[in-house]
A and B are shown apart, each in its own frame.
Chain A
Amino acid sequence: MTATTAIPAHRRRKRTPMTWLRGGGLWNLLFLLPMLIVFGVFSWGPIVESVVMSVQKTNFVTTSFVGIDNFVAVFNDPQLATAVTNTAWFALLALIFGYPLPLIVAVLMSEVRRRRGLFSALAYLPVVVPPVVAALLWKRFFDASPHGVFNTIIGWVGIPPQPWIQSASSAMPSIVLEATWAAAGGTIIIYLAALTSVAPELYDAAEVDGAGIWQKIWHVTLPQLRGVLLVTFILQIIGTAQVFLEPFLITGGGPVNSTLTILQLIYRYAFTNSIGGDYGKATALSIMLALVLAAFSFVYFRVTRAWSEN
C-alpha cells in the first residue's frame, strides 16, 4: 500500500519543469531542433503526405478523397506493364553484367601484392564521375553513325556498325552497359573490403587439409562472402528498381518506350502533364514501388543486424 502510493509521488516530484530544466532538458531540445525541423518538414511530413495524396484527387482548387481510384487508374494504364517489364529487364541485365564480374575482379585484386591502391583507384574512378556527365558522355559513345566511338572501335575487328540506343532491342542493354561502368567500382571495393577481412587462419587450416587454390576459393572465400554477396544483391535490386537518370538522359524512355522505367513513369505522371500534374497517380505508383522495395530493405536490415549481433 505504501509502496504503490510512494512510486507515483516520487515520479511526480521528478518530473517538475524545474528538474527538467536543471537536467538539461532545454539544451536537449535545442540541439534536437535542426533535426526536428529538417526531418519534420522535408522527410517525415512528406512521407505521411505521400500516403494521404495517394488516396486523393487534386485539382487546382479542390482536393477530394477518392479511395483506391488512383491505384486502379495506375493498374489500368497500359504504360505500367511496359515500365515494370523494362525496369525488370534493366535489373536482370544489370545483374548479369554487374554482379559476377566485380566479384572475379575483387578476388584477383585481393591477390595483388604491390600497388593495390592503384588497382582500387582505377576501378573506383568512374564512380566519382558525376552521373549526368557519364550519361551524356556515353550517349556520345553510342552514336549510331559509322563514325561513332563504339562503332569505330568494333570496326577495328570487323564488326559492322550497330544502332546502339537507336533501336528498341539494343537500347536497354546499351544503357545497362553505361550504368555498369558507372557503378561496378563501388561493388568491387565492397567485395575487396570483405575479402581482406576473411580470417587468414581459415586459409591456413584449409591448406593443412590439402586444399588447392580453387578449393580454397570454393570452400573458404565464397562461404565467407555469403553475407556480403546477399547485401550487394539486395542493394543492387533496390538501386536498379529506381533507375531514372540514365534512361532519362540517354534515351528519354525511347525508342517507342523501350527504356521507359517505373521512375520515369512517375515523373511523367507528376511533372510532364501540360494540364497540371496527376499527383494522385504519381504518389500511388511510388507507394506501390516503395512497398515492394521495403520488403527487400527489411531482408537487408535483418541480414546486417544478424552480423552485428554475432
Chain B
Amino acid sequence: MTATSTTQSGVLELSAGARVKKPAKPLPEQSDRSIVSHSDWRKKRVFFGLSALHLALLVLLVLWGIGPLLWLLKSAITPTQDTLQAPMELFPHGVAWSNLWSAWFTVGIGTQFLNTVWVAIGSWFVQLLVATTAGYVLAVLRPAYAKVFNWLVLATLFVPAVVLLVPLYLTILHPPLIGVSLINTFWAVWLPAGANAFNILLVTRFFSNLPREIFEAARTDGAGPLRLFWSIVLPLSRPILGVVSVFAIINAWKDYLWPMLVLTNPAIQPLSVRLPNIQSMTDLGVFLAALAISMIIPIALFLFFQRMFLRSAGLGGAVKG
C-alpha cells in the first residue's frame, strides 16, 4: 500500500532537493513520531534506557562501519613487518608513507586508477544515453508498440545476470556486424553496462510523472521531438539522472567478474580486476596502500551525495529487482 507513494514521494522529494540547495532536514519524510511517543520519552526509565541503547548502537556502528576502514587506512602507511607482527598496534615503528608512493608508481595502481575512471565514465554515458532515450519513447512519445518494449525490458529483470555470462562473453568475442573482437577494449565493459533494465524502469517512471501539459504547450509552440527531449524533458529530470549517474559510477567501480573476463590485458584493467592479481607478488604494506587508494573515490562520492545514496537505497525495497 505504501510502495507507490514512497516511490513517488521519494522521487518528487529528490526533485525538490535538487532545486533547493540546502534542505532544512536530512530526512523530510520523517514523521513527527515513531514507536515511542513523546510522553513515553518523558518517562525517566524510557529516556535513560533508550539513550543508553542508542549510545551502545552508535559505538557498535562506529566499530562496524568505519573500524575496518580505519584499520586499512592505518595499515596503508604502516611498515609491512609491523602489520604482520602487531596488526592492532598504532605505528610501533613509525610511519611508512612510502607505501602509498610505491603503490601508485612502482606497482602502477595509478594506471589502474585512471582505467577505472575511464570505465566509469564510458559506462555512465552509455547507461544515461540508453535509459533517457528509451524512457523518452516509452513514457513521453508512447507509440503503439511502447508497451511491448516496456514488457521486454522488464522481463530482463527476472533473468539473473549469470545466464548472460557465457553467451555475452561469446558476443564480445565475435560481435555481430563489426567482425572485430571487443576483448581487451573498453567497449566490452561500456556497451553491456547500457543494458540495465533497472535504469530504464526508474527513468520511465520519472518521465511518466512529469506533467504532460508542459509537453503539449511546447508542441504548440512548435518544439519537435528532439527539442522537447533536450530542452524540456532532460532539464526537468535532473534528479533522476543524478540517481542513475551515481549508481552507474559506483557500479563501474564495484564490478569484478565481467571486467575480469573481458579485460585480460593488465594495462587496461580497472582496479577491481588488478588488485587480486597483484596481491601475491606485492609487499603487504604496499598492497594495503593500493586497497586504501581504491576505495577513496566511492567513499568520497558517498560522503558527498549521502542523501541521494540513502534515499535511493530506501527505494531499493520497493523497486529494485
Please list the residues of chain A having a beta carbon within 8 angstroms of any beta carbon in chain B: 24-25, 27-28, 31-35, 38-39, 41-47, 49-50, 53, 105, 107-112, 116-133, 136-138, 140-141, 143, 147-149, 152-153, 181, 185-186, 189-200, 203-204, 207, 213, 216-217, 220-221, 227-228, 231-232, 235, 238, 242, 244-245, 249, 263, 266-267, 270-271, 277, 279, 282-283, 286-287, 289-290, 293-294, 297-298, 300-301, 304, 307-308, 310
Contact = CB atoms under 8 A, between A and B. Distances in A.
B166 interface: yes
A56 to B, nearest CB: 11
- Give the one of B30, B302, B317 with max A CB within 10 A: B317
14 contacts: A31-B134, A38-B194, A49-B167, A126-B64, A136-B276, A140-B288, A152-B86, A193-B6, A196-B34, A203-B35, A286-B162, A298-B158, A304-B3, A304-B319
Contacts of A148: 87
A195 B133 contact: no
Given A39-B152, A190-B316, A283 B167 contact: yes
A129 B152 contact: no
Contacts of A31: 133-134, 136-137, 141, 225, 229
Interface size of B as a range: 35 or more
Interface of B: 1-6, 26-27, 29-37, 40, 46, 50, 53-54, 57-58, 61-62, 64-66, 68-69, 71-72, 84-88, 126, 129-130, 133-134, 136-137, 141, 143, 149, 152-153, 156-171, 175-176, 191-192, 194-195, 197, 200, 224-226, 229, 250, 253-254, 256-257, 261, 271-272, 275-276, 279, 284, 288, 291, 294-295, 298-299, 301-303, 306, 309-311, 313-321
Nearest to A235: B320
State the majority secondary structure of interface residues on A.
Answer: helix
A213 B68 contact: no
A242 B40 CA distance: 45
A44 B168 CA distance: 10
B320 A133 contact: no
A97 to B, nearest CB: 12
Contact of B68 (A109, A126, A200, A290): A126
B319 A41 contact: no
Contact of B163 (A231, A286, A307): A286
Contacts of A32: 133-134, 137, 149
Interface centre among A25, A105, A148, A308 (most CB of B within 10 A): A308
B315 A193 contact: yes
A196 B27 contact: yes
State the main secondary structure of chain B at its contact with A: helix
Contacts of A283: 163, 166-167
Nearest to A277: B166
B311 to A, nearest CB: 8
B298 A105 contact: no
A46 B226 contact: no
Given A35-B134, A111-B35, A126-B68, A25 B143 contact: yes
B69 A200 contact: no
